[in-house]
Amino acid sequence: MQPIDVTPPPGEPVEEPERTPRSRRTRRIVLGSLLAVGLVGTGIVGTVGWRVYQQKDAQLTTPPEVAGLRFDDSDRAHETAEYLRTAIGARIDLDESIGVVYTDPASAERSVLLFGGTTLIWTPGSDLDTLFDVLADDTGAVKDLHEVDAGDLGGVMKCGESVAPEGNTTVCGWADHGSVVIALLPGRTQDEGAKLLVQIRDTIETRG
């Protein structure tokens, strides 16, 4: 059988497939969808970039008093804070770190231990979880970990309960793109601990 020649005769125009209104409409929908996805992606990147820019230059101070608590300058407080500060330094590379104990004038059993530091943090939630892992290694497992309101400074804040033979302790922590800090808050519920840590953070964290 001879092959069928479908080549048009010389000089005869080649007819292109007719573009129906439906095919043109489909093309517009596809192009519009691709454009929308691109714009959404650009918006997400822009939002994250702006958040990083706002939060990256964080500083932490340890004033003599904060949220009704007083700085504990005893040797025991220094040893405890320094121990945990060294432990987190082995897991997270911080530019500056803090480790401090604040006493509650109303009860010596409600002292607050803060430890953490500052650096450029790309994944705040992940680094905060790493800090909770450090705490679990040194004080006991942390259970019921959940997100709570981080306050006006934003970022992510979580609270849970450190489980130990001598008793359970509320723990809360925050992380943003410039800082990560955890607090041991004995004698307080998780709701109370979260509110207190927001107050502490509003005082000790600054940016710029």
**Average pLDDT, 10 consecutive residues per value, the chain (208 residues):** 44 49 54 48 60 83 96 93 85 91 93 94 92 80 93 96 87 96 95 97 94
Note whether residue 48 is domain-resident. yes
Residues 170, 199 within the same domain: yes
Residues 28, 97 within the same domain: no
What range defines the domain where residue 113 resides? 58-207
Residues 48, 63 within the same domain: no
Q: Provide the CB-side half-sphere exposure for 40 (13 A, CA).
A: 6
Residues 48, 119 within the same domain: no
Residues 72, 147 within the same domain: yes
CB 68 within 8 A of CB 110: no
- Going by C-alpha positions, the residue among 112, 99, 109, 101 that lies closest to residue 77 is 101
Instruction: Report the pLDDT value the prediction gives residue 149, as an integer from 0 to 100.
Output: 96
Instruction: Report the pLDDT value the prediction gives residue 40, as an integer from 0 to 100.
Output: 47
Residues 76, 112 within the same domain: yes
Residues 18, 101 within the same domain: no
CB atoms closer than 10 angstroms to residue 91: 13
Note whether residue 5 is domain-resident. no
Distance in angstroms (rounded) separating the CA atoms of residues 12 and 103: 95
Residues 19, 109 within the same domain: no
Please report, for the domain that includes residue 112, its CATH number: 3.40.1000
Residues 6+ apart with CB under 8 A from 15: none
pTM of the shown model: 0.75
Instruction: Report the pLDDT value the prediction gives residue 46, as an integer from 0 to 100.
Output: 62
Sign of the Cα pseudo-torsion (165, 67, 202, 85, in order)? negative
Distance in angstroms (rounded) separating the CA atoms of residues 61 and 18: 72
154 conformational bin, left if phi > 0, alpha if psi -120 to 50, beta if neither: left
Residues 136, 80 within the same domain: yes
The full 3-state SS of 154-197, as one line of letters, equals CCEEEEEEECCCCCCEEEEEEECCCEEEEEEECCCCHHHHHHHH
Instruction: Report the pLDDT value the prediction gives residue 39, as an integer from 0 to 100.
Output: 43
Instruction: Report the pLDDT value the prediction gives residue 167, as an integer from 0 to 100.
Output: 83
Instruction: Report the pLDDT value the prediction gives residue 90, as an integer from 0 to 100.
Output: 83
Instruction: Report the pLDDT value the prediction gives residue 58, as an integer from 0 to 100.
Output: 93
Instruction: Report the pLDDT value the prediction gives residue 14, as an integer from 0 to 100.
Output: 47
Tokens of 169: 């302790």
Residues 114, 197 within the same domain: yes
What's the structural domain count of the chain? 2
Note whether residue 90 is domain-resident. yes
